[in-house]
Amino acid sequence: MGGDFWKRFKKNKIAMAGLALVAILFIVSLLAPFISPYDPNEINLETVLMAPSGNHLLGTDQLGRDVLSRMIWGTRISLKVGFIATGIAIIIGTILGALAGYYGRWVDAMIMRFVDIMLCFPTFFLILAVIAFLEPSIWNIMFIIGITGWMGITRLVRADFISLKERDFVLAARSLGASDFRIIFIHILPNAMASVLVSATLGVAGAILTESALSFLGIGVQPPTPSWGNILTAGKDNIDIAWWLSLYPGLAILITVLGYNLLGEGIRDSLDPRLR
């Protein structure tokens, strides 16, 4: 199955482009200490708001810090937020979706009504409301994004479990005396992982975008920790004289979200049996 998936995936040029973008981001985040030309938090009042030049390829910010260095380290922050927040959402959504789809009846009714209630709240404003009671920090941001982004995954996993729990291999496992825990997590869940994988890939892009928006508003990753969102905040304050502070972080966010969306679409198309 893995070989067939990779063959179909390689034929999708758009998906391969997304994979290449994601791979570049990973390499940049891993090599940040080695490829960053300056300390991202080094203040130099002699180079305040310097335009892109040979010494500072992407210019400097209002404190004279090198924008390229802060962008490189911001890549690490964005990927960390994206993966941890999405991981939290995947764990919550998968467990609840599995329980709802497998047991049905009142368990399904309770979980899905809770999902409906959560979906009634605009996610971004729900995050803002929760942050108002907590200290804005990178760990709180990851946790809040995770616990407010599991509803769609729950619905997908529930639908897969409803269709899979009556299959012959599940009935055979049940007749052999397998426990519900074993049936859910050993027999059914691996066959429902395709939907989870696609949701996880697209969820990383959404989490990065949410973190950038929160940091832009000043309630996300707090300075001096470099983040694409808080670099954009400096760009907003100096838009008339320092265009580079808005352009380059905006492009980074655009390319990152685009890369993960293309990768997610490619994975979905490669796993879709109707396209084989």
- Ordered by where they begin, the domains of the chain are 2-38+57-275 (1.10.3720.10)
Share above pLDDT 90 across residues of the chain, in percent, rounded to a whole number: 21
Evaluate if residue 225 carries a pLDDT over 90: no
Q: What is the pLDDT of residue 2?
A: 57
Radius of gyration for the alpha carbons in the chain, expressed in angstroms and rounded = 22
| pLDDT tens readout for residues 123-136 | 778 787 777 777 77
Any residues with CB less than 8 A from the CB of 134 and at least 6 apart, and which? Answer: 140, 144
What integer pLDDT is reported at residue 92 of this predicted model?
A: 93
The C-alpha atoms of residue 170 and residue 185 are separated, in whole angstroms, by 11
Identify the pLDDT of residue 94.
Answer: 92
Residues paired with 66 in a beta bridge? 60
Q: For residue 237, what pLDDT is reported?
A: 80
Token code pair at residue 50 = 């310097």
Residue-wise pLDDT for 32-91, tens only, equals 999 998 988 888 888 888 889 888 889 888 888 999 999 999 998 888 888 999 999 999
The reported pTM is: 0.86
User: Between the CA of residue 144 and those of 128, 154, 196, 212, what are the distances in Å?
Assistant: 9, 17, 20, 14
Does the pLDDT of residue 118 top 90, yes or no?
Answer: no
